[in-house]
Each structure stands twice: as structure tokens, then as C-alpha cells.
Structure 1
Amino acid sequence: MTIAILILAAYAIFMWLVFYKFRWLKFNIAWGVVTFWVGIHVLFLLVVFLRFYTPFSIDGHVIRQTIQITPRLPHPTLLEEVYVAQNERVKKGDKLYQFDTTLYVAQLQEAMATLVSNRQNALSLQEDVDLAQDSRDEAVARQQYTAEQVTRYADLVPKGGAKQETLDRWNSELATATAQVAQSEANLNKAQLAVGAQIDGVNSQVVSAQAQVDQAQYYLDQTTIHAPEDGTIISQQARPGLVVGGLRIAAIAAFIADADPYFLATFYQEHLKFVKSGQPVEVALDIYPGRIFKGRVKNIWEGTGQGQILPSGFVPEFMFMKPQGRFAVEIDLDDDPALVRYPAGAHGAVAIYTGGGGGWVADLRRINLRLYSWMNFIIPFDL
């Protein structure tokens, strides 16, 4: 809009000089129509050249990675200490919050006791196998002896060498011995299965108990929250006495990371027709009025939320008059690629120079961008 007004103003001054100041031509209805027609087309061509060969956006922002500080505790837990203040810079590993550990220490001790007990039980399982094997061998030996006695008396009874009652007693003992063999074999199989219940060579009960210990240790560790990386705490609302855990799902603070910030500017889709990676860029940041920062196009985010349909049970609605989504262009600033000096959310205007349309088009856009930057000294008008 600014550059359009400047073009109209320059054209109006030129017409004033021609028709009124120097009177090179006499103004009449015909010249009025011609002047209007030429002015409109000149403005139209200039606007088209500027839009496509030097795309401009006033929607540029510094974006920083944000981590939500959310306690991961399964039970309602009291916040005891807060080690960080609002807007305070911290280093990776610094203590941020300390919660009550009483319940989680008790759970860890209980799990460790179960682990010790299960380890002892695992050691005794092989002894159970040995005892079951001995019992089976004894039962088999008794079965064999009883079977020999049955065979012996079965041969003597018909010859009158033994009584029938004796043979009947040994047959009864053979049936009992056979049942004992079957029982001892079942006990042996059960003991062997208990020994064989392993995961990667470790008894399953020991593995289960170890998992409970690891889980208890994990939640105990979560009672102390450390800084995940270098950054700044924003919106620190937690104070000692706060109870978290259980059903609480909201974060207690926002953490702005120092690493991997980037600068994004959004453009109408048609304005990016000639934009490519590596093209020069100028940025006017609102926090630095009167300054222009140089940069390069890193890449174009060729996608918007309008190009995504989320899975749901609803039929999508397509609104004919819904405004088009703007594409984001990521920009590298030459003087500070890491954006160390720029806070998250820093706003500014961006101009991309594609090289088309001649140098005068780029010059007009540079004037436009510098006017925007200098106007930041007085706009907005809140004294």
C-alpha cells in the first residue's frame, strides 16, 4: 500500500508539472482520459512487478522451540521447592522443581523387596527340579520292584507255592506305585517349566519384579524436574504447595529453548511463483527501528492446514469463500544465523528479491521496506 501511494503521488506531481507548472500541454477532457488511463496501467504494472519479483510480507516472526514443563507423576504429589524464577535463564540439567518423594521412595523399597524375594525363589527352582527328579527315580524304582514281585507270585500261585492273597496285595501295591510314578513325573514337569519360564535367560518373576523396580525408580526420578537444555523459563506459575499428578494434565511452565530457532514469514501463494532457495532477503524487525537485516531464503514450506483433513466421523466441509492459506518461507539472517539476539515472537517485515523485472523494481521495494522500518519509530501511536 505504501509503495502504491508513493507511485500515485509521483505520477500526480509529474502530471502537475506537465499541465500546470510548465504548461507543456494544455489540459482538457481528452488529456484527462489519457492521463487517467496511463496512470492506472502504470500503477497496475508496477504493482504486478513488485508483487511477483519482490514479494513482500509484514507477517515475519522469530520462532523458537518450546517445551512444556509437565510433571509426570501418577499420584497427587505436593510441590516442595521451586528453584527457578520467571524469565530466568537456565542451563541443561539445572534443578527447576522438587516434589515430595515420600510415596515414591516407599514404592521403590517395596519393589526392591519383591525383587530380592523373587531372586531367592528363582535360585530354589533348580533345587525343586532336583528333588522332583529324586522323587520320580524313587517312585520308578518302587514300581519296578513291585512289578517283579507281581510277576514272581503270579508264577507261584498256580503251583501252590504262594497264597492268592499275597498276589492280590502286590497287585494293589503295583497300582499304587504306578500312580506315584505318574504324580512324580507331573511334579518334575511342573518344576522344569518353572525353571524354563525365562526372558533372555532370566526368570520371568525376576524380570517382572525388576520392571516394577525400574518403574518405581522412574517415578522417583520424576519428582525432581531438571532443565532439558539451555533456555529460559517463561510463564512460571508454580509455587510450593501446588499439588500435581493424578488427573492434572496441564503444564506448570513453558521452557523456551536456545537451540535451533528460525525466522518465518508468510506469503500469499501466488507471490512465491519465482521464489527459490538462496535468493537475497531483507528484513525490518520492529524491535530494531531504522535497521535492515540481510538474509537468504532457506526453503519454502509448501503446505498449510487447509491441505490436511484429519480423520473423523464428519464429512469435510469446503467453504467457497474461505481465504486461501499462506505459505511460510524460512529465512537465514546473515548477521546472526543462530538468532541469538532475537527473542521468540520478534515481528518484522520481509522482502524477497528474485532478480526479475529489473533493478528498478528491487529499488522500489527497498524504499518500501525502509519506510516501514523508519515508521516503526512512531507507529503505533501510543505515547
Structure 2
Amino acid sequence: MNAQPSLDDFKALDLPPARPSRLRRNLLIAAVPLALALGGGYVWVTGGRYVATDDAYVKQDRVTVMPQVSGQIASVSVAENQTVKAGDPLFTIDDSAYRATVAADEARLQSARLDVEKLKAAYAQAVSEASTARDALATAETQDERVQSLRKSGVVAQSDADTSALALQQARGAVAAADSQVLSAKAALAGNPEIPTDSHPEVLEAQAALNVAQLNLAHTVVTAPQDGVATQTSRLLKGQYVTPSTAVVALMATGNTWIEANFKETDLEHMLDGQPVSVRFDGYPGRSFEGRLELIGAGTGSEFALIPAQNASGNWVKVVQRVPVRVDLAGADLPPVRAGMSASVDVDTGRSRGLPAPVGRALAAIGIGGSPAAAAGQDAK
């Protein structure tokens, strides 16, 4: 039976000790942090092009629909969350009183037209009477000249001469009165005897009143001002009395949808209007939609708050502010979205961080990446 080798037998063997390679071990130890440093540096240098935020929400125009005339609601044509088109009826107001007003104003308009025709006839009569008065004056002047001539010859008595002179004076007064009647009749026709009937101020006034009545009648049918989704229709009750100051229904306009994203003030350095934007809705994960940065807000959110922060207090703590940015989604094939839904926004600024200025100048000094002057100019920018 073979005996098992003992520990002494191994010790008797003259074997060189196993010594690891220090160079390989040192290289491995240095390679890992170096690779991490290079990878991190590359990511940092080439990064910064995209600015992102998840503090973003869907926005749509909200239109409050109010009637323009008073009255009781006669019928309701829309339900909660019903999609409507511009011009679709929402509800109607009892129009019986408004129809009666239209009929009365139409009658007043016809009466005004008849009055103008009467004024034209009165003017023609005044002109005719003035002409007759002038003819009578001419006759009286001729007769008075004859009488006064005969009086000088002693043929006619003085009383007859006085009567003739009085008749002449009365004829002249009649002409003056007739001319005054002509002027009055002309003034009643707005100074233009040939004025068209429908251009007379009285007719225009009646026509304006009729137009207002017809407009009020048309306003008894309240329609959707634009495409959207009707909401808060629970206040539309048949028989309810409404006034022009009563908000009875709201309309979320689906034709204009945008994103309001709140970016940190430290992210705005390279953001400009018109830059491309990628939008993701929380309600539609895995899908991305293209948009355009439309405008950057004129102030931070705290500036428009009802109770602005009191930064002048002694316990002031600096907080990074957020600025609202509007993202235009015109042209994007959007799924059904609702106002207030959450979204994430990525803005492509088209500009990465690049090398730090000291590193750029150092590389430029040794002939890598341009001249030191160019590096200094880039740093100044």
C-alpha cells in the first residue's frame, strides 16, 4: 500500500516561492480609477447639451362661457365632458320677450320711414307755399306802385293808398314766413331734401334699435366659442335664471395645447427660443413627442405668487428659483391629453460643457486643441 506524502516531503522539495507580479498588480489597481476618471470626464465634457425637468404640466385654454342676455334657461344641449365644435349650441335662453322686442322695433322702423316720407311731403308743400307767397308779393308790389302813383295825381284817396301799403307789407311778411317754413322742413330732413329715406337719422336710430334687438335674440342661443370639451355643466339647469355676469359652463379648448415646464434658474444659461424639445407624458410611458421651446417666462414663479417670499427677513435661506418655460406642441400628433397632466421635458440646447478653461489653455499651450490665444478668447466668451 502506497504511503501518503507528508508535509516534510513537500518541504524537502526545492521549489521557488510563488511571488505575484507587482507591476501587473499596480497596473490593475491604477487602471480601474483611471478608467472611471476618463469615463466620468468624457461624460462631463460631452454632457450638458440636454436640460431636463419633470416639473412640467399640460396646459390648455380654459374658456368661461357666460350668456350675453338675461333670461331663464329653456334647453340644455351639452353634457359633462362632451366634445363640442366651435358654433355648436350649448344651451338656449327663453326668447319670447326678445322676439316681442324685435317685432316692436321693426314696427318703429317702418313708422320712422313713413315719418321721413311725411317730412319730404311737408318740405314740398313749404316750397310750394313759399313760391305762392313770392307771386303774391310781386302782385302786391305792382298794385301798390299803381295806387301810390294815382295817389300823387289825386285820383285815389289816402285811405286807399294806406290799404295798398298794408297789403304789400303783409305780402312781404307772408314770404318771410314761407321761407322760414322751408328752412324748418329742410332741417327736419337733415339739411338735405333729397336724402334717401334709410339714411335719415330717425330711420338710422330705429334701424340701430332693431339691430340690437335682433342681436339680443341671437344671443339667446349660446354656442361654443371654439373646439373643446365642456365641463362644469352641472350648473346648467332648465328654468334657472341667468344674467350676463353668470358663469354657467366652462370649456377646455383642445385646439391649443402646450406644456408649461418649470426649469431651475441655473439651467437657463444656454436655453433659447426655438430650440427643439422632447416631451414625455406620465400617462403615456415609453412615448416621446417633439415640440419647440416657444418662450421663457419674464419672471420666476415666486414673483407671481399671491404671497411672495419675504427674502428681506433675517432667516433668509437661498433657494434655487424656477422659471416657467412654454413649450409649443403645434404639429405634434398628440394622444388624448388633459390639462394638468404631468410631463417630462428635455431641451436640446445644442451646446455641451466642453473642457474646463484651464485644461483648454494647457492643451492649447502644448499645441493640442488650438492656440492659447484662441483658448483665452473662448474662455472670455
Q: CA offsets per residue over residues 136-164 of structure 1, 9 Å max, x none?
A: 01111111111222222222112211011
Q: Could you tell me which residue of structure 2 aligns to residue 380 of structure 1?
A: none
The equivalent position to 1:341 in structure 2, one of 325, 336, 340, is: 336
SS in 1 for 2:270: coil
In 1, the alpha carbon distance for the partners of 2:158 and 2:299 equals 100
The equivalent position to 1:64 in structure 2, one of 52, 60, 71, is: 60
Verify: 1:204 aligned to 2:188, yes or no: no
SS in 1 for 2:329: strand
Q: Measure how far apart 1:125 and its partner are.
A: 2.5
Q: Could you tell me which residue of structure 2 aligns to residue 164 of structure 1?
A: 158
Q: Measure how far apart 1:49 and its partner are.
A: 9.4
Give runs of aligned pairs for residues 15-26 of structure 1, distance below 5 A. Answer: none
Q: Measure how far apart 1:277 and its partner are.
A: 4.5
In 2, the alpha carbon distance for the partners of 1:69 and 1:96 equals 9
Please say which of residues 90-99 and 107-116 is displaced more in the overlay.
90-99
Would the alpha carbon gap of residues 256 and 357 (structure 1) be closer, same or farther in structure 2, given more than 3 Å must change? same
Please say which of residues 115-124 and 347-356 is displaced more in the overlay.
347-356
Q: Measure how far apart 1:338 and its partner are.
A: 5.1
Structure 2: tracts of 5 or more residues without a match: 1-27, 31-36, 314-318, 355-381
Q: Could you tell me which residue of structure 2 aligns to residue 271 of structure 1?
A: 267
The equivalent position to 2:141 in structure 1, one of 144, 147, 153, is: 147
SS in 1 for 2:67: coil
The alignment's TM-score, normalised by the length of structure 2, stands at: 0.70
Q: Measure how far apart 1:257 and its partner are.
A: 2.2
Structure 1: tracts of 5 or more residues without a match: 1-22, 26-38, 310-316, 360-383
Whichever residue aligns with residue 208 of structure 2, its letter is A
The equivalent position to 1:303 in structure 2, one of 298, 305, 330, is: 298
Q: Could you tell me which residue of structure 1 aligns to residue 221 of structure 2?
A: 224
In 1, the alpha carbon distance for the partners of 2:339 and 2:196 equals 49
In 1, the alpha carbon distance for the partners of 2:271 and 2:165 equals 101
Whichever residue aligns with residue 251 of structure 2, its letter is F
Q: Could you tell me which residue of structure 2 aligns to residue 313 of structure 1?
A: none
The equivalent position to 2:113 in structure 1, one of 107, 116, 119, is: 119
Mapped contact 1:136–1:188 kept (Cα < 8 A): yes
Would the alpha carbon gap of residues 295 and 304 (structure 1) be closer, same or farther in structure 2, given more than 3 Å must change? same
Would the alpha carbon gap of residues 206 and 305 (structure 1) be closer, same or farther in structure 2, given more than 3 Å must change? farther
Give runs of aligned pairs for residues 275-290 of structure 1, distance below 5 A. Answer: 275-288=271-284, 290=285
Whichever residue aligns with residue 253 of structure 1, its letter is V
Mapped contact 1:264–1:331 kept (Cα < 8 A): no
Would the alpha carbon gap of residues 318 and 287 (structure 1) be closer, same or farther in structure 2, given more than 3 Å must change? closer
Q: Could you tell me which residue of structure 2 aligns to residue 365 of structure 1?
A: none
Q: Measure how far apart 1:238 and its partner are.
A: 1.4
SS in 2 for 1:261: strand
Q: Could you tell me which residue of structure 2 aligns to residue 185 of structure 1?
A: 179
Q: CA offsets per residue over residues 49-71 of structure 1, 9 Å max, x none?
A: 97x64323233222222322110
SS in 2 for 1:267: strand
In 2, the alpha carbon distance for the partners of 1:221 and 1:344 equals 32
Verify: 1:239 aligned to 2:237, yes or no: yes
Whichever residue aligns with residue 68 of structure 2, its letter is R
Verify: 1:258 aligned to 2:254, yes or no: yes
Pairs aligned (count): 305
Would the alpha carbon gap of residues 189 and 319 (structure 1) be closer, same or farther in structure 2, given more than 3 Å must change? farther
SS in 1 for 2:255: coil
In 2, the alpha carbon distance for the partners of 1:328 and 1:200 equals 60
The equivalent position to 2:76 in structure 1, one of 79, 82, 85, is: 82
Q: Measure how far apart 1:190 and its partner are.
A: 1.7
Mapped contact 1:278–1:296 kept (Cα < 8 A): no
Q: Could you tell me which residue of structure 1 aligns to residue 316 of structure 2?
A: none
Whichever residue aligns with residue 73 of structure 2, its letter is L
Q: CA offsets per residue over residues 323-376 of structure 1, 9 Å max, x none?
A: 86714232438xx715352122222121223243369xxxxxxxxxxxxxxxxx
Whichever residue aligns with residue 350 of structure 1, its letter is V
Mapped contact 1:234–1:254 kept (Cα < 8 A): yes
Larger radius of gyration: 2
Verify: 1:134 aligned to 2:132, yes or no: no
Mapped contact 1:199–1:207 kept (Cα < 8 A): no
The alignment's TM-score, normalised by the length of structure 1, stands at: 0.70
Mapped contact 1:295–1:331 kept (Cα < 8 A): no
Give runs of aligned pairs for residues 27-46 of structure 1, distance below 5 A. Answer: none
